[in-house]
Amino acid sequence: MNKTIRRASVFCLLLVLALLGRATWVQTYQAKALADDDHNRRKTIAQYAQPLGDIIVAGSPVTGSKRTEGSDLAYKRTYRQGGLYSSVTGYSSQAYGSTQLEGIYSHVLDGTDDRLKSPLGALTGKRSAPGDVVTTIDPDVQKAASDALGDDKGAAVAIDPRSGQILGMVSSPSYDPSDISGTNDGDTWSKLLADQDKPLVNRALRQPLAPGSTFKLVVASAALENGLYDSVDEPTKSPVPYTLPGTSTPLRNESASAPCENASLRVALQYSCNNVFGKVAADLGQDKVRAMAEKFGFDDEKLDVPVRASTSVYPEDMDKPQTALSGIGQFEVTATPLQMAMVSAALANGGELAAPHMVSKVTDGDGGTLEDFADGDTKRIVSEDTAKQLRSAMVTVVEKGTGTNARIAGAEVGGKTGTAENGVDNSNTPYAWFTSYAKSGGQEVAVAVIVEDSGSTASEVSGNGLAAPVARKMMEAALRR
């Protein structure tokens, strides 16, 4: 054989062997990765080949599926009261993927989760019936929060302090996931992305902002737990004005007439005295305040409910003036509404924090349990005595302090208002906060509300005026359970 032909033949044989080797590698080792790739159209076709399982609220589905026409995607997701529950469900879109519970449990909801397979199905590869996700959401609490927030930009969270069950979670403005569940919803999607109010962002979990004076509950907890003061009624050594350490800058109070000089922690919470909590934070030092904040959940980068919440932050490497400002929930302190609801929940529950969660169980197509999220997984945050004293002080805030709009007849209600600066030199509209708890007739609830923008002028913004009424409506609904 001609030498040139022989070399060409060997080269072609090597090419064939290389192709066979590559094909074998793809089919044996890369098949699953390719099948699971988000760019694989067959994956999307399979996902929407049958009706999806449902997300359940109080025994009824708030999701559904609809037969499509003229598409290789046989079904698309539908939502009942989509705008009300979007902060819980997220969306399942044929074009834009899935978020929140829809995303976390997508394999259960589309029937591809291995736990759904029967022995025969595992052998034949037959698609299993989809499962469902059962939430802890109370529809009355959810609706109360949505109605009370109305058109205001903000968020609200309600938790059962004893179990950690999330009873309500609302973010405003909202959106209807049904409007983006298909393949031809590009205009709606573009409008949602362009909206400066960011309706796709779950503000309850994913929008940490300065908590303002609601953070004073954390500082008060640190003061009592570290023995800086033995009682919420012990006078503090807090001058008016209090000058930030090492500076000539006074830390002013909201009301010049409030009895804040040397005020006790109770009175300081009642009138939201900045001088007291700025000095307490500086006296304790940032390490002790941070340790307490972290006990409540600050700086936790893996807070899953099961949707992951953004990290609430107590900053590091502060100087004395910055530490004092952190004591009133300013400087670089940030918190989500979920985080501030957790603070009130722990104090309401005798100092123990039950892990917050909004899914009670995940079931298969026949209703059998795949996952069960037990209530009552708690950890101690502060002593029972500290919690009792701070609850008493929070009741004073509601009964005769800055939180009177949260009163509920016949119920024990405690709370803390907050008005947080926003922008350089507070140039933007301040944030109005309220965190609280209520107990009555064997029922308990802890709530946090933030109103980022209500259209009010800066001088009209207050936690009591804007956020406390929302919290009251949610607590009333929860206590009626």
pLDDT score for 161 = 97
Per-residue pLDDT band for 457 (boundaries 50, 70, 90) equals: confident
CATH T-level assignment (fold) for domain 208-360+374-479: Beta-lactamase (3.40.710)
Share of the chain above pLDDT 90, in %: 75
Q: Per-residue pLDDT averaged across 155-182, rounded?
A: 97
Distance CA 331, CA 326 (A): 6
The predicted model gives 225-230 an average pLDDT of 97
How far is the CA of 392 from the CAs of 96, 223, 262, 356, in angstroms? Answer: 49, 16, 19, 24
Domain locations in the chain as residue ranges: 208-360+374-479
| pLDDT > 70: percent of the chain | 91
Q: Does the structure show a pLDDT above 70 at 461? A: yes
Q: 111 near 128, Cβ under 8 Å?
A: yes
Gyration radius from the chain CA atoms: 27
Residue 61 has pLDDT above 90, yes or no: yes
Cis omega (within 30 of 0) for bond into 306? yes
Give residue-wise pLDDT tens across range 313-372.
999 999 999 999 999 999 999 999 999 999 999 999 999 999 999 999 999 988 899 998
Average pLDDT over the chain reads 91
Residue 24 banded pLDDT, cuts 50, 70, 90: confident
What is the per-residue pLDDT for 124? 55
Phi, psi of 254 (to 5 degrees): -60, -40
Confidence band, pLDDT 50/70/90 cuts, at residue 68: confident
Q: Is 226 helix (H, G, I), strand (E, B) or coil?
A: coil
Instruction: Name the pLDDT band for 16 (thresholds 50, 70, 90).
Output: confident
Nearest to 210 by CA among 426, 25, 45: 426
Residues recognised as catalytic = 213
- Residues 6 or more apart whose CB falls under 8 angstroms from that of 295 comprise 381, 382
More confident residue, 323 or 7: 323
151-190 residues labelled b (16+ CB within 10 A) or e (exposed):
ebbbbbbbbbbbbbbbbbbbbbbbbbbbbbbbbebeeeee
pLDDT band with cut points at 50, 70 and 90 for residue 453: confident
- How big is the CA angle at 308 (ends 431 and 61), to the nearest 5 degrees? 95
CB neighbour list of residue 13: distance below 8 Å, 6 or more residues apart: none
Peptide bond between residue 119 and the one before it cis (omega within 30 degrees of 0): no
Q: What is the pLDDT of residues 254-306, one digit of tens each?
A: 888 999 999 999 999 999 999 999 999 999 999 999 999 999 999 999 999 99
Q: Parallel, antiparallel, or unpaired for β 92-93 and 97-98?
A: antiparallel
Q: Which residues pair with 414 in a beta bridge?
A: 437
Read off the pLDDT of each residue in 162-185 and give the average, rounded to a whole number: 95
